[in-house]
Amino acid sequence: MAALCRRAVVLFQTTKTLPYVLTAARKCSTAGTQYNYLIVDKRGENKNVGFIQLNRPKALNALCDGLMKEMNQALDAFENDAQVGAIIITGNEKSFAAGADIKEMQNRTFQECYGGNFLSHWNRVSTVRKPIIAAVNGFALGGGCELAMMCDIIYAGEKAQFGQPEILLGTVPGAGGTQRLTRAVGKSLAMEMVLTGDRISAKEAKESGLVSKIFPVEQLVEEALRCGEKIANNSKLVCAMAKEAVNAAFELTLTEGSRFEKRIFHATFATDDRKEGMTAFVEKRKANFKDN
Ligand code: CAA
């Protein structure tokens, strides 16, 4: 393990670009941060895509408290890393995430849940300003489906399964499932999934608008990375503005939302990147955005 860490540090020093060093070794991942439940890394040709892989395979990536705390740490680090322009969250081929950790929840009381505002720290995923892509292979159930829905884009492997099976445990979704699923797939399918606990396939998820694209299992992460690189090569500043505008559609009326969008559009004219983008078009060259 020590040798692996040393090798990773040498790689970091020689490339001079990687605060997040690639290593599959448990408890040896990023500069100064130890992860037990995640593999955290920067990927892409320009190392500008933050990569978070849930790494609790024996429990099908069940989202225990420790894992979600680490998720928040990794997201904070990428949010503050000027090099990173997009983030990918993925699991493994069998499971994206099989939900909140049922064994951890089994003996909790109402007083503990309400008093501690249980699951409130999961919201961090939905407040990140940089675009996040969920690359979902296998199970995305309960909190796993909710985690994917907190992301901005969902890509699915062709064997992915999505579901909100909380009803079978005598409870209801607690991390946005009833709200985000309903907005994504409409009332009838959301009701059916939440009330029966039945899962839907990747194909059904695509047909209903929950995911934007489906890929063969082994190509999924590569395709998510390709999408992440496309985003990260645009202006990070303007991408954050675009994300904010799209997300406003879930909160505002059409009139308010259109007004908000217009203000954001106007605001892009205060950026160097808007000027560079349009100048590059006119000069028939590729834009060189500086995130300014
Ligand atoms: N929490 C804790 N452990 C879990 C888990 C979960 N959500 N899902 C799977 N595991 C564990 C199993 O207990 C098992 O561990 P052991 O080997 O120690 O027994 C291991 O992962 C493998 O699971 P299975 O043997 O069950 O694997 P399978 O292939 O037969 O079935 C499955 C896979 C259909 C996903 C099944 O594991 C399952 O139904 N899991 C629970 C799914 C679920 O109900 N999720 C919702 C949780 S509640 C929630 O998320 C609330 C919220 O809104 C935030």
What is the rounded distance in angstroms from the CA atom of residue 276 to the CA atom of residue 292?
Answer: 10
At 64 the pLDDT is 97
Tokens 């950026």 sit on residue: 271
The catalytic residues are 100, 143, 146, 166
At 33 the pLDDT is 82
> What are residue 192's phi and psi, to 5 degrees?
-60, -45
- Residue whose CA lies nearest to ligand 1 atom number 2: 101
**Alpha carbon of 58 to ligand 1 centroid (Å):** 10
At 20 the pLDDT is 34
183-203 confidence digits (pLDDT tens): 999 999 999 999 999 999 999
What is the rounded distance in angstroms from the CA atom of residue 41 to the CA atom of residue 53?
Answer: 9
What is the rounded distance in angstroms from the CA atom of residue 131 to the CA atom of residue 125?
Answer: 10
* Pocket-testing residue among 56, 58, 60, ligand 1, by greatest number of atoms within 8 A of Cβ: 60
What is the pTM assigned to this prediction? 0.91
Strand 86-90 to 132-136 pairing: parallel
- Residue whose CA lies nearest to ligand 1 atom number 32: 98
Atom of ligand 1 nearest to the CA of 177: 53
Query: Residue 213 in contact with residue 223, Cβ under 8 Å?
Result: yes
Ligand 1 neighbours (beta carbon < 6 A): 59-60, 62, 98-103, 119, 139, 141-143, 146, 165-166, 169, 173-175, 177
- Residue whose CA lies nearest to ligand 1 atom number 13: 59
**Alpha carbon of 101 to ligand 1 centroid (Å):** 8
Nearest to 291 by CA among 33, 69, 81, 53: 81
Strand locations in 71-160 (E)? 86-90, 95-97, 132-136, 139-141, 153-157
What is the rounded distance in angstroms from the CA atom of residue 272 to the CA atom of residue 195?
Answer: 50
- Residue whose CA lies nearest to ligand 1 atom number 15: 59
Atom of ligand 1 nearest to the CA of 172: 53
* Pocket-testing residue among 102, 145, 201, ligand 1, by greatest number of atoms within 8 A of Cβ: 102
At 32 the pLDDT is 64
Which stretches in the chain have pLDDT values below 70? Answer: 1-32
36 token code pair: 């037990």
Domains and CATH numbers, the chain: 2-232 (3.90.226.10), 236-282 (1.10.12.10)
Atom of ligand 1 nearest to the CA of 174: 53
